[in-house]
Chain A
Amino acid sequence: MKTMTCPLNGVRNISEFVCGGEVRAMPDPATGSDAEWADYVFMENNKAGVVREWWCHTPTSFWFIAERDTVTDEILRTYPAGEVFTARRDFASKEGGS
């Protein structure tokens, strides 16, 4: 069985994980256009090569980031999301909205 290293739980069978898709910047909920949202929700880079993705260890619901090669099926590195998301991101608020 193929294995993956969970930053929280260590080496586990790959069947304990689900892939949550590529790490991408979300459009601003207040200012993002319909076209930006459609692209974010539906379109895929679908890169052949090294990608950076969200993965979840389902028994513990722990989300983290993995770098893997989509051609060789090698998992290169896994690490907590805090390595990428180092600061809080504040979105613009809609004028007059709350």
Chain B
Amino acid sequence: MPFGLLKYGLLPSRRVPRRIPPTPELKPSYDVVIIGGGGHGLAAAYYLATVHGITNVAVLEKGYLAGGNTARNTAIIRSNYLTPEGVRFYDESVRLYQGLSNELGFNILYSERGHLTLAHTDAAVRTMRWRAEVNKHCGVNSELIFPDDIRKLAPSLNLSQDVRYPILAALHHPPGSIARHDAVAWGYAIGAARRGVEIHQQTEVTGLKREGNRIVAVETNRGTVACGKVLQAVAGSSTRLADMAGLRLPIKTVPLQACVSQPLKPFLDPIIVSGSLHVYISQSSRGELVMGGSTDPYPLYSTRSTLEFKETLMAHMLEMFPFLSEVRLLRQWAGMADMTPDFSPVMGETPLDNYYLDAGWGTWGFKATPVCGKRMAETVATGKAPDILHAFRLSRFEEFAQAGERGAASVGH
């Protein structure tokens, strides 16, 4: 019997087709070179090919496909931001996500859970009301709710008023979702590769050759390629690449840690965030509790984990869900987040003529993968950033025109 099974499994007709082709030889030149094979770079490649018919494209990834922050994030998708520019932008992403499994023909396990941001102080209640009003004004479903309604959505949450930070209210955002992060990247990669985009793994960009105001060639550990246009989408390595291009960025690289528990029976439907307690939690489709908090206290180019992170996270988590004291942690990890001073991204044109930037995604960029891909592809194809990206331009800092999203992005991601 085991041999029969083995024989059956090894039949050529049973072999699973390889959907992402192996890394090809580098060609001498490409119309577009995308640096960084995470979700953002792959989505941009996909929309360049599908929307703009540009397929002479190489995605250069120094490690393995989507092994950076795309592989490390906690997959929360939402659009309940604070500024109208932010809400409009993230809303476009949520809408693209809702149809993405169909668009890609690949199941991204999109799961609409609803999202609760807890308020433990009067000041936080005011901010939640403010966000709810801005959201509704922009056509996004958000509502301020109080403990009676919170209890219906999350019966296991500790709503006692006899704790250090009692829960007074919550911003309820029904479209809040989670998705399978790897599947998002793989779906875009498969779609792009099928249309002729080349994906080069283990290909690290080591230098950029500049002539006048253009980047004319990209140097890698596998040789140099000439390029028509370049898109940089390297998250935690944004400054290192910008240094090669001679650009200055308002970015600090800071680790963000997360962890999951052993799997439990499903009990937690919504995603729950507490800005005051610096924690958030959701239950994955495998039953694991996915938990995280705010970034590490100081900049670092490292993905190490710390005991301190887990101690402070759990101290607060136990106040919200006391019975978790019985549960064990399964895994922990970290990613390098590219943090900006206003908690908004830096996207669009740069002082160079043919070099485009998708950076400053900090702790909140997974939810923006589809809209970034689509709008950065448009920017690269036309040479001009569309209106929806205007608020996130690099030049906003010298114009003192920040897009302040700290209140909506610092813990909730």
Contacts and interface: CB of A to CB of B under 8 A. Distances in A.
Interface of A: 1-2, 14-15, 18-19, 34-35, 38-39, 41-46, 48, 70-73
A43 B302 contact: no
Given A15-B308, A73-B300, A42 B240 contact: no
B250 interface: yes
B302 A71 contact: yes
- Main secondary structure, interface of B, reads loop
Contact of A71 (B297, B301, B306): B301
Nearest to A39: B248
B341 interface: yes
A81 B298 CA distance: 19
Interface residues of B, number: 22
A1 B302 CA distance: 17
B123 interface: no
B223 interface: no
A15 to B, nearest CB: 6
Given A42-B341, A43-B250, A48 B398 contact: no
B249 A44 contact: yes
A73 B304 contact: yes
B253 A46 contact: yes
Nearest to B338: A46
A44 B251 contact: yes
Contacts, number: 56
Pick from A19, A41, A45, A46 the residue with the most CB of B within 10 Å.
A46
Contacts of B239: 44-46, 48
Interface of B: 239-240, 248-253, 297-302, 304, 306-308, 341, 397-398, 400
Contact of B252 (A2, A15, A39, A46): A46
A46 B299 contact: yes
B252 A44 contact: yes
Given A2-B308, A15-B297, A71-B302, 8 more contacts: A1-B308, A14-B297, A38-B397, A44-B239, A46-B251, A70-B301, A71-B300, A72-B302
Of the candidates B249, B299, B306, B341, the one having the most CB atoms from chain A within 10 angstroms of its own CB is: B299
Contacts of A19: 297-299
Contacts of A43: 248-250, 397
Contacts of B253: 46, 48, 70
B240 to A, nearest CB: 6
Contacts of B400: 34, 38
B252 to A, nearest CB: 5
A72 B304 CA distance: 10
Contact of B250 (A2, A44, A72, A73): A44
A2 B306 contact: yes
A38 B297 contact: no
Contacts of A1: 307-308
B298 to A, nearest CB: 4
A35 B308 contact: no
B249 A14 contact: no
A51 B297 CA distance: 16
A14 B397 contact: no
Contacts of A48: 239-240, 253, 301
A34 B300 CA distance: 29
Nearest to B398: A38
A45 B251 CA distance: 8
Given A48-B240, A70-B299, A42 B250 contact: yes
Contacts of B249: 43-44, 46
